[in-house]
C-alpha cells in the first residue's frame, strides 16, 4: 500500500498482519460494510490478500471473497497455503473458480486445475 499517512499499516513490526488491520477487515465483513472492505483491500498485493484470507476463520473466508466481489485479486488463490486453497476450492461456487482460472496466468491456472483434479 502506498503510504499517504491516512492508510492503515497492514503489517506489524514482525511482518505479520497487524491485529488492527485484521480486526478492521473482519469487522467490515461481519457488518456487511462492503465500502470499508473495498477501501481497505483495494491496494493489497496478492500475497497480502492471501495472508488475510489465511488469517480469517475457515467459515469467514468465502464471505470475505464474496464481499470483495470483482475486486478480489484472483492471483491471491495461487499464493494461498495448499490446505486453505483446497478448502476454498471446495467452498466457492464453480462459476467463481472458473472465472478465477480464466483470469490467472497459465502457470497459476494450471496449478489450480491440478488441485481440482486431486480433489476428484
- pLDDT tens for 53-93 read 999 999 899 999 999 988 899 999 989 999 999 899 889 88
pLDDT at position 6 is 38
- pLDDT tens for 98-113 read 888 888 888 888 877 7
Question: What burial class does residue 18 get, using C-beta atoms within 10 Å of its C-beta: 0-12 exposed, 13-18 middle, 19+ buried?
Answer: middle
Q: How confident is the model at residue 7 (pLDDT cuts 50, 70, 90)?
A: low
> Which one has a higher pLDDT value, 115 or 15?
15
- The answer as to whether 34 is a domain residue is yes
Half-sphere exposure of 14 (CA within 13 A, CB side): 4
- The answer as to whether 36 is a domain residue is yes
CATH number at residue 59: 1.25.60
- The answer as to whether 38 is a domain residue is yes
Q: How confident is the model at residue 8 (pLDDT cuts 50, 70, 90)?
A: low
17, 51 Cβ separation under 8 angstroms = yes
pLDDT at position 4 is 39
- The answer as to whether 77 is a domain residue is yes
- The answer as to whether 105 is a domain residue is yes
Domain that holds residue 106: 19-119
Domain count of the chain? Answer: 1
Using alpha carbons only, give the angle 86, 112, 84 rounded to the nearest 5 degrees. 25
Greatest Cα pair distance, the chain, in angstroms, is 48
Amino acid at each position: 500500500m502506498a503510504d499517504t499517512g491516512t492508510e492503515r499499516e497492514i503489517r506489524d513490526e514482525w511482518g505479520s498482519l497487524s491485529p488492527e488491520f485484521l480486526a478492521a477487515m473482519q469487522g467490515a465483513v461481519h457488518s456487511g460494510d462492503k465500502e470499508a472492505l473495498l477501501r481497505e483491500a483495494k491496494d493489497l498485493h496478492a500475497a497480502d490478500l492471501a495472508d488475510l484470507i489465511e488469517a480469517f476463520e475457515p467459515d469467514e473466508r468465502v464471505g470475505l471473497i464474496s464481499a470483495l466481489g470483482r475486486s478480489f485479486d484472483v492471483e491471491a488463490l495461487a499464493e494461498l497455503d495448499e490446505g486453505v486453497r483446497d478448502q476454498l476450492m471446495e467452498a466457492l461456487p464453480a462459476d467463481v473458480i472458473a472465472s478465477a482460472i480464466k483470469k490467472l496466468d497459465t502457470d497459476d491456472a494450471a496449478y489450480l486445475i491440478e488441485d481440482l483434479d486431486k480433489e476428484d
